């Protein structure tokens, strides 16, 4: 609902056509990662560590190799040696050593579920039977899970010799803190001391998983001549190819990588886990090999989002003007360094005018799977801390929670988190739309509370390649290297149709393999509609230039005397003025010219703009049980321009629901041995449909002037506010602070009991 | 997951013979626990005896106010018997909280009972109802109270070769009703942190003349709490009676701390849920709901 009316400005942009991949997906024909089969393919299986932290003394695979049907066994000894070189790993970067160690433990296991060996066999049952024959001699080491344990004096060190980066002077002893990132401005302590009010809080969240339905899966084939193929479901087959090729020391172009449909990623499918293992198994076996994770493997051995421990103080004057923000947080990064502290720090500083600030994030490793990007990586946890603390300020000063945010909201021209001024941002417009929404003034019943929270998410641009080709009948083929995760085939077709002036239905979009088009980086930072969209639009403009040129030749005029309008070339001058040539009339004459009409464009746009959102949440708390019901939920977001409003609203609703799950019940629960106790959807409690009201959406459109159609990234911002919006609502329903997530019934009940 | 042999006997006798012949055999009705356990490697039966093809195993039979439910009757199938729903709304609602609709189209109360999970939803409701089961085995048939089937998590009192063939619900006196509630963090697709079943009878004045209270997920098996039922008898379910009943419930709890809830929370919730369940049952008995 609340879709903007067609503005007359655009013909196709802003409409809601059926998505081209829809039929295949709803009828089960679409081929996802675990569906793919190729000739001669055999099955792989992975042996995983039963210990959270242990040294591998030896691995004996001889009995497994002798089992009939087994075609290959692989351990870390089969991997080439790795350097400490840092390469792009999805939305972050990582050292080759750690990327390789994520795929196969090398010398030490760092978490339960860490891969230690792999088998390929003629059947999955034989492969699994062979795993039981592999003997691993472990020297079990003490382990740490929580940040405080990891940083305690005498804690076992995961990565020997790791010295914290980003501190001056550098520490002289190794620790589990890999890195510190700080942004500071002004004298924060003096500003806080001089503030009329200050509020402080200690906050905590647990690691959570993206919860994509499709597990990680791949099929690999590595030929004796050194060339290989990979079939994967991912958020970016070019980057996964690059990571795999780097780990295996092969030229990228020798590893042709084919994208399959993706059943959800949310940041978690931007790195490699199975791919090099499948490749090594394939080379040994001489056959294509499939590896697939189980759900338990996905929880234990792919990348969740970090938990956080945080201390915050915010100061304000009597009228609610913020004076200073001081934040220090510790990311529970999992087994490998490189969690999302930078974006966490940016999140704390992006949405409000802050005369003085200090924001510092610590990246702390511990013995569970290395964390990975999860939709606005690093932002929801920090926004929970900041937006909860802001709510405390509003209550303390008796100021309306939206008014407090309006008073301090970043406006165009204000300094952004790195002091680069904000461009055409729409936070104020979002806050005003939220205030005007009937939800904000609706009455509440007993045991109900209303929470609000805002969000800043930086978004991204990045490298993309697109090609636009015309068939002789004038129909249009658009090719990109960006997987279709959230409806990008539809949005690319809309933008191409808008640019060319042709019907949406005459444009088809293909996601090409790495051998068929130039590089596109992973889908992340809500960048695809923006950046890949720019490549598609630019390529379409080049096609128009060719069409105009050829039409001019056919009309016998100069190109400047031809106008491209409504999918046809119109002659403006000369004898044939007023005549037109359709796209098919020109495309059909390609044989008279220099060949078919095709244009390719590679881009790296950095003129993206951040997204802002405001969420309003009503909860009802059962005071006897602590159960929290979400009874009403409204999302407001600056979406730039909604190319396909259905999918923009879908992003807003989906992000809100994932955030609600994070707030209410989702958490990694570890036992005393570091084993995740809930590696399945029964006890890892994502929301089910009956847990949720309809998520209302309000799209605010403040276009990005740097994009032909005004696009801003929309996919990630909606997961940033819900943690605080829910917690603030529960805090207002109960009159009690809610500073630890998830707000599971037993935790809320315990808080109510403690206050009695 | 590899199974050597799958049997689909047509008679109880055949099933008993197959089960008696293979001590590592498992009975399959809906399979919503067994298949999951096998896939996870937690169960590895050498053979499976599917009891669904045995006559009357998927039927509800009403006779003079008594009900006999085949052990392999899917939970959603119970909803189709109007008389059963009217007589035993608590049993039917408990069976229809398990899993999702798709799961309940397969899952059965017989399987829910013999899986012997302390958190099984239908079991406290059946215990509160005073239900019995017909056990058939090599030594013949015996009728056993539901509460005597589970003995510890995953273990039953069934002897080698025995299986549960029927669930039997007794005749209802006038002004009787039952109810079941559970505590879960979500609204469905979940496992009870605590479950409470109450069955009671009122006289014409609204005084409780009989009550049974049973709990799930607060002890190694579902339990009946006679003191809780006794606290309601002779009262009109006033606050004092409900408080006394809740106190008896809490006193009977012996829960563990686990990923699904702390012992303290479970004990407190048992009292809260038992009260709420008793009030629903009483309202039903008065014809108000």
pLDDT in tens, A572-629: 999 999 999 999 999 999 999 999 999 999 999 999 999 999 999 999 999 999 999 9
Residue of B100, B102, B185, B191 best to disrupt the A interface, most CBs of A under 10 A: B185
Contact (CB, 8 A) for A306 and A207: yes
Contact (CB, 8 A) for A64 and A119: yes
In chain A, % of residues over pLDDT 70: 99
Name which CATH class applies to A378-410+425-459+609-755.
alpha beta
Note if A716 is an active site residue.
yes
Burial of A218 (0-12, 13-18, 19+ CB in 10 A): buried
- Closest alpha carbon within chain A to B269: A625
The domain made up of B176-285 has a fold known as Enolase-like; domain 1 (3.30.390)
For A665, the closest of B185, B191, B265 (CB atoms) is B185
Could you tell me the two tokens for A442?
């609706």
Q: Which of A511, A529, A687, A722 is nearest to A613 (CA)?
A: A722
Which A-chain residues 75-134 have CB contacts (< 8 A) with chain B? 125
How far B143 CA sits from the closest chain A CA (Å)? 34
Is residue A734 very low, low, confident or very high in pLDDT (cuts 50, 70, 90)? very high
Could you tell me the two tokens for B64?
């003079």
CA distances from A200 to A352, A561, A739 (A): 18, 67, 11
Burial of A151 (0-12, 13-18, 19+ CB in 10 A): middle
For A688, the closest of B186, B258, B260 (CB atoms) is B186
Whether A128 shows a pLDDT value over 60: the answer reads yes
How far B64 CA sits from the closest chain A CA (Å)? 39
Whether A742 shows a pLDDT value over 80: the answer reads yes
Whether A93 shows a pLDDT value over 90: the answer reads no
DSSP track, A371-405 = P---SSTTHHHHHHHHHHHHHHHHHHHT--HHHHH
**What tens digit of pLDDT does each residue of A323-356 get?**
999 999 999 999 999 999 999 999 999 999 999 9
How far A387 CA sits from the closest chain B CA (Å)? 25
Residue A691 at interface with chain B, using a CB cutoff of 8 Å: yes
Helix count and strand count (H, E) for chain A:
20, 28
Residue A403: predicted pLDDT: 98
Question: In the predicted model, what is the mean pLDDT of residues A551-567?
Answer: 97
Contact (CB, 8 A) for A425 and A416: no
Whether A2 shows a pLDDT value over 60: the answer reads no
Burial of A194 (0-12, 13-18, 19+ CB in 10 A): middle
Question: In the predicted model, what is the mean pLDDT of residues B245-261?
Answer: 94
Do the Cβ atoms of A746 and B259 come within 8 Å? Answer: no
Q: Whole-number mean pLDDT of chain B?
A: 96
Is residue A94 very low, low, confident or very high in pLDDT (cuts 50, 70, 90)? confident
- Closest alpha carbon within chain B to A743: B185
Question: In the predicted model, what is the mean pLDDT of residues B65-82?
Answer: 97
**What tens digit of pLDDT does each residue of A149-197 get?**
999 999 999 999 999 999 999 999 999 999 999 999 999 999 999 999 9
Is residue A3 very low, low, confident or very high in pLDDT (cuts 50, 70, 90)? very low
Whether B254 shows a pLDDT value over 90: the answer reads yes
Residue A725: predicted pLDDT: 98
What is the rounded distance in angstroms from the CA atom of residue B174 to the CA atom of residue B131? 18
Cβ-based neighbour number of residue B210 at 10 Å? 15
Could you tell me the two tokens for A239?
């980057």
Do the Cβ atoms of A687 and B186 come within 8 Å? Answer: yes
Question: In the predicted model, what is the mean pLDDT of residues A314-319?
Answer: 98
Could you tell me the two tokens for A638?
């600056």
DSSP-based three-state secondary structure for A38: coil
Q: Where are the beta strands (DSSP E) in A127-176?
A: 135-140
Residue A518 at interface with chain B, using a CB cutoff of 8 Å: no
Question: What are residue A646's phi and psi, to 5 degrees?
Answer: -60, -45
**What tens digit of pLDDT does each residue of B115-172 get?**
999 999 999 999 999 999 999 999 999 999 999 999 999 999 999 999 999 999 999 9
Cα A508 from chain centre: 26
Is residue A285 very low, low, confident or very high in pLDDT (cuts 50, 70, 90)? very high
Whether A5 shows a pLDDT value over 70: the answer reads no
Residues of A in Cβ contact (< 8 Å) with B263: none
Whether A1 shows a pLDDT value over 80: the answer reads no
A351: left (phi over 0), alpha (psi -120 to 50) or beta: alpha
Contact (CB, 8 A) for A730 and A668: no
Residues of A in Cβ contact (< 8 Å) with B260: 683
Do the Cβ atoms of B259 and A749 come within 8 Å? Answer: no
Residue B2: predicted pLDDT: 66
**What tens digit of pLDDT does each residue of A373-396 get?**
999 999 999 999 999 999 999 999
Cβ-based neighbour number of residue A347 at 10 Å? 31
For B187, the closest of A691, A746, A749 (CB atoms) is A691
Residue of B103, B186, B266 best to disrupt the A interface, most CBs of A under 10 A: B186
- Closest alpha carbon within chain B to A668: B259
Question: In the predicted model, what is the mean pLDDT of residues A437-452?
Answer: 98
The hierarchical CATH code for the domain B5-50 is: 3.30.43.10
The hierarchical CATH code for the domain B60-169 is: 3.30.465.10
The answer for residues whose C-beta is within 8 angstroms of residue A439's C-beta and 6 or more apart is A616, A618, A632, A634, A696
**What tens digit of pLDDT does each residue of B46-59 get?**
999 999 999 899 99
Domain ranges of chain B: 5-50, 60-169, 176-285
Positions of CATH 3.30.365.10 in chain A: 378-410+425-459+609-755, 464-603
Whether A359 shows a pLDDT value over 60: the answer reads yes
Question: In the predicted model, what is the mean pLDDT of residues B96-113?
Answer: 97
- Closest alpha carbon within chain A to B185: A745
Whether A227 shows a pLDDT value over 70: the answer reads yes
- Closest alpha carbon within chain A to B262: A746
Is residue B1 very low, low, confident or very high in pLDDT (cuts 50, 70, 90)? low
Residue A135 at interface with chain B, using a CB cutoff of 8 Å: no
Whether A270 shows a pLDDT value over 80: the answer reads yes
Q: A464-603 architecture in CATH?
A: 2-Layer Sandwich (3.30)
Question: In the predicted model, what is the mean pLDDT of residues B82-91?
Answer: 97
Do the Cβ atoms of B259 and A683 come within 8 Å? Answer: yes
Whether A4 shows a pLDDT value over 60: the answer reads no
Residue A295: predicted pLDDT: 96
């Amino acid at each position: 609902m609340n879709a903007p009316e067609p503005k007359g400005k655009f013909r196709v942009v802003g409409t809601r056509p059926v998505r081209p991949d829809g039929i295949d997906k709803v009828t089960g024909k679409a081929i996802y990662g675990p569906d793919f089969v190729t000739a001669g393919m055999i099955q792989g299986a992975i042996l995983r560590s039963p210990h959270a932290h242990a040294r591998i003394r030896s691995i004996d695979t001889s009995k497994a190799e002798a089992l009939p049907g087994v075609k290959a066994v692989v351990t870390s000894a089969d991997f080439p040696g790795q350097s400490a070189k840092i390469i792009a790993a999805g939305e972050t970067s990582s050292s080759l050593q750690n990327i390789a160690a994520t795929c196969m433990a090398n010398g030490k296991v760092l978490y339960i579920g860490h891969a230690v060996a792999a088998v390929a066999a003629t059947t999955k049952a034989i492969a699994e039977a062979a795993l039981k024959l592999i003997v691993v001699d472990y020297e079990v080491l003490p382990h740490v899970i929580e940040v405080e344990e990891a940083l305690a004096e005498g804690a076992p060190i995961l990565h020997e010799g790791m010295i914290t980066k980003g501190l001056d002077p550098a520490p002289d002893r190794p620790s589990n803190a890999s890195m510190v990132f700080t942004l500071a401005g002004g004298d924060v302590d003096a500003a806080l001391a001089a503030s009329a009010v200050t509020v402080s809080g200690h906050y905590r969240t647990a690691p959570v998983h993206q919860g994509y339905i499709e597990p990680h899966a791949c099929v690999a084939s590595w030929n004796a001549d050194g060339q290989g193929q990979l079939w994967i479901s991912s958020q970016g087959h070019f980057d996964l190819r690059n990571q795999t090729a780097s780990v295996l020391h092969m030229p990228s172009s020798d590893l042709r990588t084919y994208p399959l449909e993706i059943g959800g990623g949310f940041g978690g499918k931007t790195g490699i886990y199975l791919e090099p293992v499948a490749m090594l198994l394939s080379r040994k076996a001489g056959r294509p090999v499939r590896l697939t994770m189980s759900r338990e493997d996905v929880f234990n051995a792919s990348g969740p989002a970090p938990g956080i421990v945080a201390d915050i103080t915010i100061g304000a004057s009597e009228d609610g003007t913020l004076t200073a923000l001081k934040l220090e947080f510790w990311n529970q990064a999992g087994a490998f360094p490189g969690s999302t502290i930078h974006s966490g720090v940016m999140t704390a500083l992006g949405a409000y005018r802050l005369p003085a600030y200090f924001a510092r994030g610590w990246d702390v490793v511990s013995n569970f799977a290395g964390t990975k990007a999860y939709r606005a990586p690093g932002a929801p946890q920090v926004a929970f801390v900041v937006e909860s603390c802001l709510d405390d300020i509003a209550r303390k000063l008796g100021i309306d929670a939206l008014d407090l945010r309006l008073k301090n909201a970043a406006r165009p021209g204000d300094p952004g988190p790195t002091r680069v001024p904000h461009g055409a941002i729409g936070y104020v417009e979002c806050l005003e739309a939220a205030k005007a929404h009937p939800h904000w003034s609706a009455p509440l019943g007993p045991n109900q509370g209303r929470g609000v929270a805002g969000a800043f998410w930086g978004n991204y641009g990045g490298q993309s390649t697109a090609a636009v080709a015309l068939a002789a009948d004038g129909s249009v083929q658009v090719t990109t290297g960006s997987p279709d995760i959230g409806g990008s085939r539809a949005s690319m077709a809309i933008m191409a149709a808008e640019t060319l002036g042709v019907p949406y239905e005459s444009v088809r979009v293909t996601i090409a393999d790495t051998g068929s088009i130039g590089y596109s980086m992973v889908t992340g930072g809500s960048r695809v509609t923006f950046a890949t969209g720019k490549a598609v639009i630019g390529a379409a403009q080049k096609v128009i230039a060719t069409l105009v040129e050829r039409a001019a030749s056919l009309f016998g005029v100069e190109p400047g005397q031809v106008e491209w309008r409504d999918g046809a070339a119109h002659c403006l001058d000369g004898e044939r003025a007023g005549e037109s040539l359709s796209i098919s009339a020109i495309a059909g004459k390609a044989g008279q010219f220099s060949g078919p009409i095709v244009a390719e464009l590679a881009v790296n746009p950095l003129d993206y703009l951040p997204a802002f959102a405001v969420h309003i949440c009503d909860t009802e708390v059962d005071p006897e049980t602590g159960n929290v019901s979400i009874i009403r939920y409204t999302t407001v977001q600056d979406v730039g321009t909604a190319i396909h409003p259905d999918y923009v609203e879908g992003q807003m609703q989906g992000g809100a629901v994932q955030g609600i799950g994070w707030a209410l019940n989702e958490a990694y629960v570890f036992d005393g041995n570091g084993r995740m106790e809930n590696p399945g959807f029964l006890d890892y409690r994502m929301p089910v449909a009956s847990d949720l009201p309809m998520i209302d959406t309000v799209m605010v459109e403040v276009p990005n002037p740097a994009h032909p159609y005004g696009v801003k990234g929309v996919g990630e911002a909606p997961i940033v506010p819900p943690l605080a919006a829910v917690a603030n609502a529960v805090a207002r329903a109960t009159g009690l602070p809610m500073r630890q997530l998830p707000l599971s019934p037993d935790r809320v009940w315990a808080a109510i009991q403690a206050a009695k | 997951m590899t199974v050597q042999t799958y049997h689909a006997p047509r008679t109880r006798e055949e099933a008993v013979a197959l089960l008696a012949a293979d001590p590592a055999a498992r009975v399959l009705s809906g399979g919503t626990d067994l298949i999951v356990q096998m896939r996870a490697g937690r169960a590895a039966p050498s053979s499976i005896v599917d009891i669904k093809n045995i006559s009357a195993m998927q039927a509800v039979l009403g006779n003079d106010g008594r009900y006999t439910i085949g052990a392999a009757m899917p939970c959603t199938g119970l909803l189709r018997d109007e008389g059963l729903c009217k007589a035993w709304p608590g049993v039917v609602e408990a069976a229809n909280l398990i899993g999702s609709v798709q799961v309940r189209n397969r899952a059965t109360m017989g399987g829910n009972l013999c899986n012997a999970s302390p958190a099984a939803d239908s079991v406290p409701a059946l215990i509160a109802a005073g239900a019995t089961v017909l056990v058939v085995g090599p030594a013949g048939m015996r009728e056993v109270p539901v509460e005597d089937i589970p003995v510890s998590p995953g273990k039953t009192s069934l002897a080698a070769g025995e299986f549960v063939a029927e669930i039997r619900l007794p005749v209802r006196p006038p002004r009787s009703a039952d109810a079941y509630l559970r505590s879960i963090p979500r609204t469905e697709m979940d496992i009870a942190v605590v479950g409470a079943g109450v069955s009671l009878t009122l006289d014409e004045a609204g005084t409780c003349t009989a009550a049974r209270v049973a709990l799930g997920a607060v002890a190694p098996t579902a339990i009946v709490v006679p003191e809780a039922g006794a606290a309601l008898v002779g009262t009109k379910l006033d606050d004092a009676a409900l408080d006394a009943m809740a106190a008896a419930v809490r006193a009977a709890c012996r829960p563990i701390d686990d990923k699904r809830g702390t012992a303290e929370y479970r004990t407190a919730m048992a009292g809260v849920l038992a009260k709420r369940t008793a009030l629903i049952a009483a309202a039903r008995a008065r014809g108000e709901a």
